[in-house]
């Protein structure tokens, strides 16, 4: 079997670093990482070997990294910062840096990646987003008035319309917990968020999201699918831990907006 070259953007993030490490350990793939900060890469991975550096807001910096790749995993995201510690009884206030707003990072930055992938002949893009994008009043959209989930959805729609094979994974709340011990659930357009089965939390370990990315790169039933992803709590998953990802992806459909 011929190995596929995969570029992972956002590879120093909490989920991106797990995806990068999993791909590095998988003999079916050769992986490249894309990041902004060489020091952070060295801190996480011990060296900068296999990494390319640039800014997704500048499409030209992606060109050398994506050259020769067959797949792209998009894990970039903007992040707000707290304006100041809240006073007792008040909610914290957040803002985005002017050059790192959701419109610039989650929309324009992802468009740049999709355009670069198209120019390079990429066969498949796996984009990791977030649930909640159908609700303009979702708390994440309110943070810093950035409308982050709205911009992420616009980028997803741009990917679908690009003509490149895609898999869009809209993850629930991300947990810093081990993966591989839960039953995973897929849904569509926030159905799970609005009506979770058995009243479970709409969350999932980052490691399970990362494994879903790896499987999506290998399973044909993940091609041209868009879905929400959460998990049952570990204690409720005994005997039903998700292992057959082809069957999981078969439950999903093309992305709808």
pLDDT in tens, 73-113: 999 999 999 988 888 888 889 999 999 999 999 999 999 99
User: Would residue 257 count as lying in a domain?
Assistant: no
In a domain, 256, yes or no: no
Specify the number of domains making up the chain. 1
In a domain, 113, yes or no: yes
Q: What average pLDDT does this structure show over 161-185?
A: 97
CA triple 189-145-10, angle to 5 deg: 65
Tell me whether residue 130 is one of the annotated catalytic residues. Answer: yes
**Given this model, what pLDDT does residue 236 score?**
87
Task: Give tens-digit pLDDT for 62-74.
Answer: 999 999 999 999 9
Residue 255 lies in a domain: no
How confident is the model at residue 135, as a pLDDT? 94
Provide the residue range defining the domain that includes 31. 4-250
What is the crossing angle of helices 110-120 and 148-162, to 10°?
20
140-162 per-position pLDDT tens digit: 999 999 999 999 999 999 999 99
Is 224 among the domain residues? yes
Paired sense of beta strands 225-231 and 184-187, if any: antiparallel
Question: What is the rounded CA–CA span in Å between residue 151 and residue 142?
Answer: 13
101 domain-assigned: yes
Q: Say yes or no to pLDDT of 172 above 90.
A: yes
How far is 211 from 196, CA to CA, in rounded Å? 22
What per-residue confidence (pLDDT) applies to 1? 60
CA distance 251 to 253: 7
Q: What is the pLDDT of residues 200-224, one digit of tens each?
A: 999 999 999 999 999 999 999 999 9
DSSP state of 40: H
Structure tokens at 130: 């977030």
Q: Which one of the listed residues 17, 77, 78, 130 is annotated catalytic?
A: 130
Q: Report the CATH number at residue 151.
A: 3.40.50.720
Is the Cβ–Cβ distance between 158 and 111 less than 8 Å?
yes
Q: Is residue 72 part of a domain?
A: yes
Answer left, alpha or beta for residue 109, where phi above 0 means left and psi between -120 and 50 means alpha. alpha
């Amino acid at each position: 079997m011929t190995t596929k070259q995969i570029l992972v953007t956002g590879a120093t993030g909490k989920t991106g670093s797990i995806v990068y490490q999993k791909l590095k350990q998988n003999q079916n793939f050769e992986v490249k990482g894309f990041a902004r900060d060489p020091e952070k890469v060295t801190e996480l991975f011990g060296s900068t070997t296999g990494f390319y550096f640039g800014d997704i807001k500048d499409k030209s910096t992606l060109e050398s990294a994506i050259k020769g790749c067959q797949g792209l995993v998009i894990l970039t995201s903007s992040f707000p910062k707290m304006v100041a510690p809240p006073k007792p009884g008040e909610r914290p206030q957040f803002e985005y840096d002017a050059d790192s707003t959701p419109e610039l990072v989650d929309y324009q930055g992802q468009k740049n990646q999709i355009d670069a992938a198209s120019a390079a002949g990429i066969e498949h893009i796996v984009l990791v987003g977030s649930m909640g994008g159908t609700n303009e009043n979702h708390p994440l959209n309110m943070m810093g008035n950035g409308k982050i989930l709205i911009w992420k959805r616009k980028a997803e729609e741009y990917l679908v319309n690009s003509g490149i094979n895609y898999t869009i994974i809209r993850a629930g709340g991300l947990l810093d917990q081990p993966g591989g011990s839960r039953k995973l659930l897929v849904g569509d357009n926030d159905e799970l968020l609005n009506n979770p089965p058995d009243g479970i939390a709409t969350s999932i370990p980052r490691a399970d999201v990362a494994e879903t990315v790896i499987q999506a790169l290998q399973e044909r039933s993940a091609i041209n699918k868009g879905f929400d992803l959460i998990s049952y709590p570990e204690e409720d998953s005994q005997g039903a831990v998700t292992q057959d990802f082809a069957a999981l992806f078969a439950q999903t459909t093309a992305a709808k907006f």
